[in-house]
Structure 1
């Protein structure tokens, strides 16, 4: 055992010495691996960070929430031309479903509409509009830090009140307590009754800090249910323990009945389960990972060929030395390990530099952009393992050819 340790130690020493002697060659050799490892780890870190941020953002949402309207969250068998003819959801349909569906915990009638400009005095703010029913505070996991959310009565009667996001409050009121103040929106006066806790930007559903929630019936009074500037949607959340598939089927049957369709008729609306959208996102993230591995793999392959090429040159240059080592008793495995270590060290240096570059970018992105870019320990381990593997793979053939040289022939060729 001690003999093998000495062998490894001596081989390692020879490899380090060779790398020190040829600094330019060493730098050029690990450059390809650096780019390859940087590409792979950067892609893995970016995808992992995106996945972590999305899951963190959506942790407060129920996977069983259902969006009923004339669009599908994902790919659909219904042709686009056909789905474009589907009628928009109406408030009467929302009211009917809410009263007649069994197992509904929360229900809201919403408008998906464009952003608007809100004014207070001489201050303006571009805001994300969220006209909705009062239950949306639970469906959207809204946390009010100051004031309150509007009631069902205020929503039904279209009372001109708004609940504003943290950023909207800062932009318009600059430290003044917004609750009770009047703002202008859609050319009308609205009273601010609540401010939402700071949430930070999210990837799905828009930034809650820049949002304004208002009773949906105000929007209905202005535009009606068939407005070209908005899409109406019914959002439902079943009670705990309700079978989601049965709940979907009940929605389909009830809405068909309300629209005068037969049970056998094809439905002219989509029942989108929020969990299905999350599954689709996870699938896309998985595909991004695969594509990233494929693209980055080519960079790593080029780096491996570069190391192999340099190692073959190194073997040729040191043929005379190899012959002398073998002539004085060096075993094949000593020569093999010597060159193999050199290739692995080259590759590991490239891998470490690549990982440091990704870490630098992660710190920069996290500080500059409102996005947590994470370089996990698992990704670092993947990078180092890949580097070592590429080193072994690209260094084995040159090392094997060096180890099999005839000592006499090597001394003659090297001289």
Structure 2
């Protein structure tokens, strides 16, 4: 055991000396591995950070939540002309669903609208995403109130001119002034602020730049033509029920309500949150795969660089190898000497690459606001292991060729 430890120690010392004696060559070899490790870990860290922020954003939503509307959120086989002729989902549909479909934990009627300009005295904010929705949205979106309250069911039914602001909207409009009870203008009309939503941050921070108003308030002055205002019914089923059976009952009752016969196709879509999250997971997986493929070329170049440098190193030190073997050095000593040199090169390059990823992650987090760019311990360990494997694979053939040199021929060739 001690013999092997001594062998490792001496081989390691020889490898370090060889690297320090050829600083330019070492630097060029490190550069290839550093770029490779930096590329792949940076891509993986970016994708992981994006995935984590998306999951944080969706964490408050039940994946079984459904959107009943004339639009399909995912790709569909229904022709465009047919979808365009579907009737809009309106408040009457919502009232029917709420009263006749069992096992509903919460439901809401939502109107799709465009970003609005919000004003308070001299302050103006444009592009605010105001969601006209019935008060059931409070439970479905898992809204958390920082100040004040959310609008009640009577306010929702009566279309009261009230508004609940996102954190950033309230902060930009009012600064340090208490916004509760203040009147602002949106849709060209006066609205009373009754609540402010807690700051979310991250990708979920888009709710910080949004607001909620009763859907019936908007229905008073907006008209969507023949098919009505574009909207959707949000449905959150009770926990523990069979989602497939629930969806079947929902479709059956709504088809009967719309007068559809047995052979008629649905003139609506039931979009599930689970389908959207599955699509997001698939996109994240594809991004990871593309990151591996693109960064793999950088790693390949780094590996070839180390292998090339090691072959050159063996060629230059052929005479020294012959002398070492003539003095009794075993093949495994020569093998470990060059193998250690390759692994040390790769590991140092990998660590430098990880350091640069860490620096970039800190800088990126500063410039991306609430988006948190995270370099996880798993990615750091992966980078270390990858660099070690690159060193082993790149150095094993030069090391074997060096260990099998004949001492006499090696000395003669080196002279």
**TM-score normalised by the chain length of structure 2:** 0.96
Q: Which moved more, 1:360-369 or 1:350-359?
A: 360-369
Q: CA distance change for structure 1 residues 270 and 226 in 2, over 3 Å: closer, same or farther?
A: farther
Structure 2 match to 1:164: 165
* Superposition deviation, residue 241 in structure 1: 2.4
* Separation in structure 2 between the aligned mates of residue 130 and residue 202 of structure 1, nearest angstrom: 18
* Superposition deviation, residue 82 in structure 1: 3.6
Deviations 1:193-221 (A, max 9, x none): 11111122425xx7111111101012112
* Separation in structure 2 between the aligned mates of residue 239 and residue 95 of structure 1, nearest angstrom: 18
* Superposition deviation, residue 263 in structure 1: 3.1
Equivalent residues in 2 for 1:130-279 (5 A)? 130-202=131-203, 207-226=206-225, 231-279=230-278
Deviations 1:269-300 (A, max 9, x none): 21111122112211211121111111111110
Q: Does residue 50 of structure 2 align to residue 50 of structure 1?
A: yes
* Separation in structure 2 between the aligned mates of residue 114 and residue 331 of structure 1, nearest angstrom: 77
* Separation in structure 2 between the aligned mates of residue 16 and residue 85 of structure 1, nearest angstrom: 75
8 Å Cα contact 2:132/2:213 also seen in 1: yes
8 Å Cα contact 2:307/2:398 also seen in 1: yes
For structure 2, the residue ranges without an aligned partner over 5 or more in a row are none
Question: Which runs of at least 4 in structure 1 moved beyond 6 Å after TM superposition?
Answer: 227-230
Deviations 1:101-120 (A, max 9, x none): 01112111111221111111
* Superposition deviation, residue 310 in structure 1: 0.6
Structure 2 match to 1:310: 309
8 Å Cα contact 1:88/1:226 also seen in 2: no
8 Å Cα contact 2:335/2:400 also seen in 1: yes
* Superposition deviation, residue 240 in structure 1: 2.1
Q: Which moved more, 1:192-201 or 1:221-230?
A: 221-230
Structure 2 match to 1:16: 16
Q: CA distance change for structure 1 residues 36 and 76 in 2, over 3 Å: closer, same or farther?
A: same
For structure 1, the residue ranges without an aligned partner over 5 or more in a row are none
Structure 2 match to 1:322: 321
Number of residue pairs matched by the alignment: 413
* Superposition deviation, residue 250 in structure 1: 1.5
Q: Which moved more, 1:95-104 or 1:79-88?
A: 79-88
The RMSD of aligned alpha carbons is 1.7
8 Å Cα contact 2:11/2:336 also seen in 1: yes
* Separation in structure 2 between the aligned mates of residue 86 and residue 24 of structure 1, nearest angstrom: 70
Q: CA distance change for structure 1 residues 39 and 85 in 2, over 3 Å: closer, same or farther?
A: farther
* Separation in structure 2 between the aligned mates of residue 103 and residue 134 of structure 1, nearest angstrom: 19
8 Å Cα contact 1:201/1:208 also seen in 2: no
* Separation in structure 2 between the aligned mates of residue 115 and residue 255 of structure 1, nearest angstrom: 31
Structure 2 match to 1:405: 405
Structure 1 match to 2:345: 346
**TM-score normalised by the chain length of structure 1:** 0.96
* Superposition deviation, residue 357 in structure 1: 0.7
